[in-house]
């Protein structure tokens, strides 16, 4: 499991912020922040994103995405997000057709 407690502790120290203050900004209690800092529990992705924004920490560094060359798995911009959202709104049985159509369209646009 990914250990992020030390990163959170360092971020708190750099921002001169307490666990209680961070918890208040994230709408969680100080105990929850303490469990994150001690790698007892882990924030969900939404909370981690907000936490990184507050502490001015690069989420890609926290998740080690640069080191593992996994950046291709991260949505890069709003255009990709729109396509992903359109895909996710489809019923399961329509998703393959959507993917096939997008691949065909991409090959046409490339030319």
Q: What is the pLDDT of residues 18-56, one digit of tens each?
A: 999 999 999 999 999 999 999 999 999 899 999 999 999
* Sequence spans of domains, the chain: 5-62, 75-110
% of the chain residues with pLDDT over 70: 86
What's the mean pLDDT in 56-74?
70
Helix (H, G, I), strand (E, B) or coil at 55: helix
Residue 100 has pLDDT above 70, yes or no: yes
Tokens of 49: 């994103």
The pLDDT assigned to 61 comes to 78
% of the chain residues with pLDDT over 90: 62
Is the separation of the CB atoms in 41 and 35 below 8 Å?
Answer: yes
Helix (H) or strand (E) run with residue 52 in it: helix 45-55
The pLDDT assigned to 80 comes to 81
The pLDDT assigned to 78 comes to 82
Tokens of 79: 């255009």
Cα–Cα distances (Å) from 109 to 76, 96, 106, in that order, read: 20, 20, 5
Report the predicted TM-score, pTM, of the whole model to 2 decimal places.
0.60
CATH superfamily of 5-62: lambda repressor-like DNA-binding domains (1.10.260.40)
Higher-confidence position of 24 and 77? 24
Q: How many residues does the chain have?
A: 111
Is the separation of the CB atoms in 36 and 30 below 8 Å?
Answer: no
């Amino acid at each position: 499991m990914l250990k992020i407690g030390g990163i959170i502790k360092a971020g708190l120290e750099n921002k001169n912020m307490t666990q209680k203050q961070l918890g208040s900004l994230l709408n969680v209690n100080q105990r929850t922040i303490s469990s994150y800092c001690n790698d007892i529990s882990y924030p969900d992705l939404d909370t981690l994103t907000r936490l990184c924004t507050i502490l001015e920490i690069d989420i890609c560094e926290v998740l080690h995405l640069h080191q593992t060359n996994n950046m291709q798995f991260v949505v890069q911009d709003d255009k990709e997000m729109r396509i992903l959202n359109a895909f996710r709104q489809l019923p399961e049985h329509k998703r393959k057709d959507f993917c096939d159509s997008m691949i065909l369209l991409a090959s046409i646009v490339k030319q």
